[in-house]
Structures are given as C-alpha cells and as structure tokens.
A and B are shown apart, each in its own frame.
Chain A
Amino acid sequence: MSLKAARYARLNETKLEISLFPFLSIFLCVMGVLSFINVLSSFSAPQKIEMTAQLEQGYKVAYQIFSLPDGIIRVPPTKHLKLLQQAVKNSKTVDQGYVEVIDEIIRQREQTMSRLERIVHSKKNSIMNAAVEPDVDDILDTMRNIRTLNEIALKTNYLYEEFLLFGIYPNGGQAYQKIRDVMTLTQDARAISIGLEPLDSNWTLNLKPRRK
C-alpha cells in the first residue's frame, strides 16, 4: 500500500510541460515578415496625386490635362456646370439658348469621363494607359468650350472660371508643346488662364468615381 501511495504521489507532482518555442518562433517569423512587407510597401508604393475632376481654387476650376510620353489625358470638370446652368435658367437677362449649350458641354465631358473610367476598370486602374495623341480639333474644341463657359458665367454674374492646368510627366513635354503650339492658333486660348506643374513618374493618377 505504501508503495502504491508513493507512486501516486510522484505522478501528482509531475507537471505538464509545454514547450513555447514553436509558438514564439512562429510569432517572431510573422512579425518579421509583416515588418518586411511594410517596409517594402512604403518604399515601392507609388504616391498618388489627386486627379479628381474637381480640382479648384476658389471660383477657379481646373480643366486638367496630363501630359505623358504617349500623349495626353484630359480630365474635364463637371461639378459646378449644373449650378451654372441653373443660374442661367434663373436669369431673366441672359439668353436661354445657353442652357442647351451648357447641356451639350456637360454631355461631352461626361462621355470623356466615362471613357476614362472604362479604361480604369478594364485595365486594372492603369489610367496611364488612357493617354491619347493630342488631336488639333479636340484641343480647339476644348478651348472654345472653356471660353464659352467662362463668358456665360460672366454674363450670368455667376462666380465660375475654368482654367487649364497641365500636369507634365517626365518625357511628357512633347505633347504639352504641341498643345501650346495649337493654342497659339486660336483666340479662344488667349482668354484662358494656364497653370502647369511638373509631376514625377511614380505619381499615379487617382480617378475617383463620380457621384451621381
């Protein structure tokens, strides 16, 4: 009996030993990998630039043209045009024919934005592939539309002015120079303010979805 009791007593004294080494090693590995991924992503993740269609400074609204080696991407503003149209409708002194003019410009611009969005969705957000060769007629149309809108806003006493903002990417100077050359051909361009900014190649364009 005493031997049996002594054996039971020894068994009770034996503690269950769990090795924590595998657990710790997995944790440390996960931590290391995560830190590595984090450091890598902070180095390689391209910084995005704001490329909403609604870049504005007070009442001045940017019609953005991004100049890339393969051509240009036009990002026309649409946000305030409905309000301008409403202001024309409310005005008793302004020609109501302008309502249709604005309507047509809105339609054209929404088509341009839809085309960009389609490219973004079809090519996995690579909007940089949306660049097209600058077309002389398109540039002249753009100048005419901007001038028309600015004049309508002026006649309606509505605080709104569009200007051209060029974003120049490395090796994108050629397309920019072509547009500026075309702009010298038209009187419409002389009345339009122009801004230009140099952009880095690792700045990708961020086209936010339109809110309807």
Chain B
Amino acid sequence: MKNLISLDSLTDIVSNSVGILIIFAVINLIHDNNKTFQLEIPIEHATELSPVFFISKDDRIIKLDTETIFSNAALQATSGTARNKRLFPLNYAGLLGKIDKDKGISFYARDTSNWEPFQSLDKRSSTLKDELSALNPKKQYAYFFVYDNSEDGSNIGSGFEAFRKAREYLKTRFVKTGWQPVNSDSPAHLCDRSFSQACTYLPSYLGGK
C-alpha cells in the first residue's frame, strides 16, 4: 500500500488564500474606480506683499533676479539690440527677452539645462532650496510662470510638477504663492499693473490662510 500525503489541508489553505485575494482585488478595483480627487480652491487675493518671480519648465525652476534682468535688458535696449520686438539675450540663465509695448518684457526659456531640477528640494541643501527658504513670508510671496507644454500631452516636461513641489515646500514655510500657465506662444512677461490689467501677479491661497 502506498503512503499518500494528504493534500487536503494544503488545498484548503490555498483556496482560502485565493478567495481572500480575489475579494481584496475586487474591493481594491471598486475603491480605485470611485476614488476622486477633491480640488483645492486657492483664490487670488490682492496683497501688499512683494512678488519674487520664478519660471518653472522641464521639471526645473529658475528664480528671476529682476534687478539683474532689467539692467541687462536696459543695456540691450540702449545698444539697439532690443528694437522692433527682436529677441535678445538677457545673459541670465539662458533666457531670451523681448520688449513689447503691450506686455512689457517677455521671457523665452529655450535652454533649461542650467536650471535646478525640483528634486533638489528633497536634498538637505541646494541653491533652489536656499532661494525659496530666503523668502520672507511677511514681506514677500513667490510667483511662478509655469510652462504647460509637453511633447506628448502629459505633464512630463512641463513645469506643473515642479511648481506643485515648490508650492508644497513654500506652504510649509508659510510663504504664499501665485502662478500662471505660460508657453512659447504666451511667454512669461513682466510689466507694471498701471500698464495693463494683464500685468497683475497675485498670490493664490485658501481663504483666511
């Protein structure tokens, strides 16, 4: 007579495990399908704080040192390079500029390789982190020009993810943020509010916060 190993208990355990896994899978699928993301509602507010401008593109962020940029642009303008809405090098982080009577000075970001990737915010120390940390929440807020372009229609290559990360970081430091989407057709531009209504750069945040 053969000595047969009884597989009853093993089968029992396996079938029970499979059953539980199937239930988990079904619950998980139902849960995933019903999961919705509640949008935050940041609303633009008028403010006495002064803006510090950033451009976010290709998952990278650059701070706009307006003093340097404006003095460089003034040099180009006096030398005639910036005439007739021509693009001219701003000699700042690979940015090109254009002076336009409707939009003030516009910025064209072609080469972003020298800009710092937003992942550097996770590091203990980085230039970007230092620049964001240097903002005084009682006097300043951060305003981002966020590129919405991407090659394949996804957010990869745009500045959305970088902006969200920076906003999250600044929120922990109680610094208010504002933003607007830009692209090569509607580039980032700086001008005075008295110039045009489009020259308004307001921080957005939840009411009362």
A interface, over-half SS: mixed
Q: B18 contacts A202, CB within 8 Å?
A: no
Whether A42 is near chain B, meaning CB under 8 Å from some CB there, is yes
Mark the stretch among B36-44, B117-125, B134-142 that contacts chain A.
B36-44
Whether A118 is near chain B, meaning CB under 8 Å from some CB there, is no
A24-B11, A181-B198, A195-B41 are contacts. A201–B155 as well, Cβ < 8 Å?
A: yes
Q: A203 contacts B37, CB within 8 Å?
A: yes
- Name the residue on A nearest B11 (C-beta): A20
Give the distance to chain A from B104, nearest Cβ to Cβ, in Å.
15
Q: Which residues of A contact B4 (CB under 8 A)?
A: 15, 17
Q: Which residues of B contact A134 (CB under 8 A)?
A: none
Q: B198 contacts A198, CB within 8 Å?
A: no
Q: Which residues of A contact B22 (CB under 8 A)?
A: 34
Q: Kindly state the separation between the CA atoms of A46 and B154 in the bound complex, as whole angstroms.
A: 12
Partner pick for B153 among A20, A47, A50, A171, CB 8 A cutoff: A171
Partner pick for B37 among A23, A50, A193, CB 8 A cutoff: A50
Mark the stretch among B68-76, B82-90, B91-99, B177-185 that contacts chain A.
B177-185
Q: Which residues of B contact A206 (CB under 8 A)?
A: 36
Q: B37 contacts A171, CB within 8 Å?
A: no
- Name the residue on B nearest A19 (C-beta): B7
Contacts of B165-188 to chain A: CB distance below 8 A: 179-183, 185-186
Q: Which residues of B contact A163 (CB under 8 A)?
A: 43
- Name the residue on B nearest A69 (C-beta): B153
Q: Which residues of B contact A80 (CB under 8 A)?
A: none
Q: Which residues of A contact B77 (CB under 8 A)?
A: none
Q: Kindly state the separation between the CA atoms of A86 and B154 in the bound complex, as whole angstroms.
A: 45
Whether B204 is near chain A, meaning CB under 8 Å from some CB there, is yes
Give the distance to chain B from A43, nearest Cβ to Cβ, in Å.
11
Q: B207 contacts A45, CB within 8 Å?
A: no
A196-B179, A197-B39 are contacts. A27–B18 as well, Cβ < 8 Å?
A: yes
Whether A93 is near chain B, meaning CB under 8 Å from some CB there, is no
Q: Kindly state the separation between the CA atoms of A41 and B186 in the bound complex, as whole angstroms.
A: 37
Tell which of A17, A193, A198, A202 has the most Cβ of chain B within 10 Å.
A198
Partner pick for A41 among B15, B17, B32, B185, CB 8 A cutoff: B32
B30-56 toward A: CB 8 Å interface, digit per residue (1/0)?
001101111111111000000000000
Q: Kindly state the separation between the CA atoms of A181 and B200 in the bound complex, as whole angstroms.
A: 12
Give the distance to chain A from B75, nearest Cβ to Cβ, in Å.
30
Contacts of B109-161 to chain A: CB distance below 8 A: 146, 148-150, 153-155, 158, 160
Q: Kindly state the separation between the CA atoms of A19 and B38 in the bound complex, as whole angstroms.
A: 53
Q: A198 contacts B39, CB within 8 Å?
A: no
5 closest A-B pairs by beta carbon, nearest first, are: A173-B181, A184-B197, A173-B148, A198-B160, A195-B43
Please give the residue numbers on chain A whose beta carbons come within 8 Å of chain B beta carbons, in ascending order. Answer: 13, 15, 17, 20, 23-24, 27-28, 30-31, 34-35, 37-38, 41-42, 45, 47-50, 55, 57-58, 60, 62, 67, 69, 163, 165, 167-174, 176-177, 180-181, 184, 193-198, 200-203, 206
**Please, could you name 13 A-B residue pairs with CB atoms under 8 Å apart, sorted by A?**
A27-B15, A60-B41, A60-B207, A170-B148, A174-B186, A184-B196, A194-B44, A198-B146, A198-B148, A201-B154, A202-B154, A203-B37, A206-B36
